[in-house]
Amino acid sequence: MTTTLINAKLVNPDSCTENLGWVSFDNGTITATGTDTPPAGPSIDAQGKCLAPGIIDIGVKIGEPGERHKESYKTAAAAAAAGGVTTMVTRPDTTPVTDTPETLTFAMRRAAEASPVHVLPMAALTKGFEGREMTEIGFLRDAGAVAFSDADRPVQNPKVLSRAMQYAAGLDALIVAHPQEPTLSKGAAMTSGPFAAKLGLPTVSPMAERMQLERDLALVEMTGVRYHADQLTCGVALEVLKLAKAQGLPVTAGTSVHHLTLNTFDTDDYRTFFKVKPPLRSEEDRMATVEALAEGLIDVVSSMHTPQDEESKRLPFEEAASGAVALETLLPACLQLVHAGHLDLPTLFRALSLNPARLLGLPAGRLTPGAPADLILFDPDAPFVLDRSTLRSKSKNTPYDGRRMQGRVLRTFVSGVEVFAR
């Protein structure tokens, strides 16, 4: 049976347009769209609110297996649905590390049982994240791994990395890297600068990001592997990315919503909910990242959802765990950039939906016939004050607690089935 969403403002990242129109879907797939009179039949009136392809979030951490007390597939999926995320691309930094087809299959089975939104897993690039031997990239790909990553533990040995890259290139596998030079970054809790000097915390220079990116890009040039940097967050690294793209290397880059909307000053009073990896940057670097997103240099925005329980955060800043939950706050926080006039809605959804889909070779992320009916209906203007206790994630470690935000998801459809409605 065909359902039509009528009277919606269609946010189309493919054509970069926002028009009032309708979208029909049937059997989990978009069948037709238009801006003229909608077809007859059952319909849902969107009342002029925005309709966009669902968010594809690359780099979500879920605590299964190993840390279910922090987040399970069930709670993460509930948060995702409420946040407009229709596909979670999960990180392999589980316990144990997702580095064998068996662990991967276990996680996928749990996801299928518990998650109403799509889950696509990433697998480890080296066994146990040890940076010594590559994983069974072929088997893991066959089992469903969409990308290979050692999460936030970059492979230090260039020989190991170059071999893994060569092997992955032969399988046309995507590598997702965390470009932060590990020896410089070790023990760092903040980005170096006047504010860190005042707080007396161990620091790392943003140059650590550029150094590791430059090394990785040299190996990409050597091996031809498809390479995605999980988060670029500072001007010095973005310059390097720009050159690499101009050179035609198979490189893409993401950034996190936190680095787009917060800066190092938010760490005032040692608030550990603002401790993320890499640490929050200066306002200049934040603006450079926002501009790179607006002009398309940065391809992907993700939540880098990292659940941490109260015990791992209620510690002195240096000892506290890094990371923040963001599945539910990703869209409202990103909309802050739209409201501030830095970018328009289609550009935002290129980074949230279309580009991640392209990167992973998915048909989703578009509002075109044939694409899966992964759709979100949202009101970009709806104001609210975030109360972290209302978050659906099992862990409530959000830096946006108490913040005034604008923009809420009203309905979420995954393969044409409504999984969330406000």
Which residues of this protein are in contact with another protein, per CB under 8 A? 187, 192-203, 205, 269-270, 311, 314-319
Q: Closer to another protein by CB, 201 or 375: give it.
A: 201
Tell whether the torsion through CA atoms of 271, 272, 274 and 280 is positive or negative: positive
Tell whether the torsion through CA atoms of 307, 309, 312 and 313 is positive or negative: positive
- Is the preceding peptide bond at 278 cis, omega within 30 degrees of 0? yes
- Minimum CB distance to another protein, residue 67 (Å): 18
- Is the preceding peptide bond at 13 cis, omega within 30 degrees of 0? no
| Cross-strand pairs, 147 | 122
Q: Closer to another protein by CB, 184 or 297: give it.
A: 184
Q: Closer to another protein by CB, 42 or 194: give it.
A: 194
- Minimum CB distance to another protein, residue 199 (Å): 6
- Minimum CB distance to another protein, residue 309 (Å): 12
CA–CA distance, 350 with 370 (Å, rounded to integer) = 18
- Minimum CB distance to another protein, residue 146 (Å): 38
Q: Closer to another protein by CB, 125 or 189: give it.
A: 189
Q: Closer to another protein by CB, 78 or 276: give it.
A: 276
Q: Closer to another protein by CB, 194 or 402: give it.
A: 194
- Minimum CB distance to another protein, residue 388 (Å): 17
Cβ neighbours for 273, distance < 8 A, ≥ 6 positions apart: 313, 324, 397, 398, 399, 401
C-alpha closest to that of 252 among 330, 118, 350: 350
| Cross-strand pairs, 176 | 228
CA–CA distance, 177 with 58 (Å, rounded to integer) = 12
- Minimum CB distance to another protein, residue 202 (Å): 8
